[in-house]
Amino acid sequence: MSSFPVIAIDGPTASGKGTVASLVADKLGFHYLDSGALYRLLALASEIQGIDVKNGPELGLLVPKLLILFKNNQITLNGEDVSEAIRTESIGLRASALAVHPAVRTALVGLQRSFLQAPGLVADGRDMASVIFPDAVLKVFLTATAPARAERRYKQLIAKGISAKLSDLLQDLQERDARDSRRGAAPLVIADGAKVLETSDLSIDQAVKIVLDWYQSIAA
């Protein structure tokens, strides 16, 4: 592992961890890793190639073949801009389903750790603090109630002109939470030493300030 500082932010789907993590990274001038995007990229690539989501070994073998680039808020896969394509609900559900395979998670470990470069990294996901960066200087478990998260996701989709049903989103979130928490490989857990941040009644700016304050108290 590197001596560069890592802030690891874990949490369930639609908890706001991605938005908070990216803003914290911007404020600190750190690199940012959206680990969930890597799973979504694999989900999209495997769908295109017709690989069954239950075929863990074949999915794992696909990982080294992915040419991924994060630049200027754009995500490219094998040279094609897939920034929007990987954010659909169907790809999100597929990503959650393939993430249960140990072969997939193992294959993605090295890729995720490669994002740690000077001057530091803010990484968000499900197992950033518990598995990928266990030596992170700050570990945060960012969460919110399922209804609050479903409401956020609903507003995001409507703002993009995508039709959605709140009750369906809530059910999907609850099913994904159960799957993420019960899987045998790197389940969603509160890592040892992690600070829990409940954001149901917080604004994004408030959540970002809390994380920055926590980090500054450590770095001081």
| pLDDT tens by residue, 11-25 | 988 888 989 999 999
Strands 80-81 and 74-77: antiparallel
Q: What is the SS3 assignment for 143?
A: strand
Q: What is the pTM of this model?
A: 0.83
**Residue 35 located in a structural domain:** yes
The answer to whether residue 116 is domain-embedded is yes
Residue 147 lies in a domain: yes
**Looking at the domain assignment, is residue 179 inside a domain?**
yes
Q: What is the CATH number of the domain that holds 187?
A: 3.40.50.300
Give CA–CA dist 16/51, Å, rounded.
Answer: 30
How many domains would you assign to the chain?
1
pLDDT digits (tens, 9 = 90+) for 38-70: 999 999 999 999 999 999 999 999 999 998 887
Residue type, 112: Q
Q: Could you tell me the residue range of the domain that residue 77 belongs to?
A: 6-219
Residue 45 falls inside a structural domain:
yes
Is 1 part of a structural domain of the chain? no
- The answer to the question of residue 47 being in a domain is yes
